[in-house]
Structures are given as structure tokens and as C-alpha cells.
Structure 1
């Protein structure tokens, strides 16, 4: 497991000017002079899979940009169940709600080992006042996050079990290789799709038997998508 580098907090370990994913995150549109406005440290932190990055209801003091790995956003339903409302990947921003309210509105938990940059709110607020480009980028990120949250609900919470699991597989394909999909524990998949763990396992096994997907690891987290067209249109009459 990757240790959480809490001992490095607030020491300013990040190098935003030379960040490898800078074009994907908030600072893509900043000019060299804009970086002179940053007086609070920005930290590059690591979290192991299963560790929380922020907690629902926790006082919001920072935004986080996801450099690598995947994070799940989790909320509780009225009947006490946990639902995963979205999965974040490299370039996504955690905690945008901190710009509008005092607390975080979801648990953000590492699905895999992750690296994040922690951006103190005072940095964002000052750049927002001084740099209209950042304000525009924040609005774009907010709009995209709302749209993706709606897409998750629309695409993954309707239809039968086959359609839901197939939809998740296709949604979790790599941005660099559409033939590879990275999944998670069966329990997490059930929480995303509002399905029982047993149903998720049975559906994945059926897809393997039918030659639609092939496992690429022993843990059952990495799959090759063999026939995306048949996944898009699963068999009629399935549960």
C-alpha cells in the first residue's frame, strides 16, 4: 500500500508550472505572472486505495485535482445505503462545492492508489479575483461535473442488470485504449449500479462465457472488451 504523505502537508511540494497534467486541470490557462499570486503552498499527496480524501460534512478548506488513479464519490440514501454517484479520473477536480458552501457534500474515497494536488481555497479565491481565466475554467469544470453526474444517473441506473453492468464497463474504458476497462470491487460496482453483489458477479461471469470480455488480471479488475457492439445491445429478457 502507498503511505499517505500527511507529514508533507502544507510544505508546498507541488510544481504547478511543470505539472504533467496541467493542461487538464485548473491551472491550464494561467500565465507565468499568475503563479506569482500563489502564496499558500500546494501539496502533491498520495492516498492508498480505500482511504478517504475528503468526508461528507467535513469543513471544506481545499480543492483537490486528481493526478492519477480513480476516486469514488459516495453519498448515503435516505434508507441508509451507500450509493456511488460518480467515479473521478485523472484531471478531475474534487470538492468544487467548497466554492459555494462550507462543507463537502460527498465522501471522496480512493478506489485505487491515487495522487492528488491539494489547493487551499485561499489560493483559488485570490486567483479567481485576479485572473478571470481561472474563473472561466472553474465554471467549465463545474458544468462538466454536473453533466457527468447526470450522465451517471441516466446511463447506469436504468435498464436490467446486463444493461447496467455493460454500461459501466464501456464507461470505464481507458481514454488511451478503448479496448481496456478498469473496474472495481463487485461491492463498489453494486453500489454504483444499485445491484446486489451476487448479481454483478453473475453478470460479469456471463459476459466472460459469451466472449464479450476477457479478464486481464487475477483480481478481476482489468478487462479487455472483446465485443463492444454486443455489450451496447445486451440480450433481451435478461434480469
Structure 2
């Protein structure tokens, strides 16, 4: 069976985003980004020689945020930056006290690479969220682990008053230290709609980048179409 769903009370401890005083990174940060927390990047070398760095951004604020980007710097033993890449997190809106996974890919491992430093680059307060995004909940109904692949089926319920479209489901795998060992994001066919009160089953498969997965976190997002009359 799949490890139990991680709950907000046992989400991994995250490090507050520090200021970067050297290469202009601080100047690029938005004011909201300074208040977001980011888990240290867990970086894995792939079979083709690239390096993928995974982690999560947590929103400790009492307002939702969006347009969140994460940067990862690869450094040598002396702390000199060898490479720097940025990417958007894989969540349109990060609600209060929620998290979003990120993945930053480097095409190759630079010579002298000794570690990685991660920071939140940008983020904005999200406005009119209820007018743009559906109110969806997701509950796991089954889970299996076969041949190094985790598969979870989620029951997705539209609890809002608007039709949901452009659905996207995301599952993040975590080890006992709260590091991300893998994640996947799927988007059903564009023709899939979820009316108010309607439920839908979605299955997600994730191949972990490393051993030691003990828990997972999953969420589903959707955009709003027309408001349904009462």
C-alpha cells in the first residue's frame, strides 16, 4: 500500500528564504517572495547526465499567492556559484498554509559541483481567486506501489458554484526528512468539465528519483467557466 497521506500538521519543516547579498539575486526578489518559505533543493543526477532539483515552496501568509518562481544555484565547495536556473512552481495558486512543488533542471552537472542553494525569486498576492479558480477537494481512494512506481487514485469534488475546467492534478512524494523524492502533474483532456457537486476520479503515477519515499501530498486545481444559476 502507498504510505499515508501527509497532513498539514506533519508537513516538512521549511527554511525561511534568506537574502542573497552578492550577485544581484536579492534585487530580483519581490516583496512577497521574501515571506515565502522554501525547502532545500534535493538534486538528483539523471541517466543522461542532467541534474534535476526538487523541493517545495510553502505559503505561511493568510492570503493566496501566485506567479511564484524558484531559483536554484549550484555551488562548489567554496560557495562559488557555478550555475543558476529559475522556474515557476507547479501550482497556479498557493493557498494560505499550503505548498507547491518545484522542479529546476540543469542540462549538465558543472565541474566542481558540491551542493545547491535554493531561493524564492518572485511571488504576487492573488486577487479574485474565486472568480478565476474552482473550489475543488481531492481525497485519495486507492494507492499502490509497483515496480518503483507509485499510483494514487483521487476522488475530486467540485464544491463551488461554478463549472470547473482545465483541471490539473499534482502529487508530490516525500521522504522522512521532508525532501521531495519525485512528483508528477497531469492534465485531463481539455473537454473534461466538472459541474458543481459533481465528482471525478483521477489517477496519477509518479516514479521517485530516489529511495525512501514515506508519504505523499496531492491537490487538484481547475479554472472557472460560467457561474451556475441557483
TM-score normalised to the size of structure 1?
0.26
Which structure ranks higher in relative contact order (CA pairs < 8 Å, sequence separation ≥ 6)?
A: 2
Relative to its length, the structure with more strand (as a share) is 2
Relative to its length, the structure with more helix (as a share) is 1
TM-score normalised to the size of structure 2?
0.26
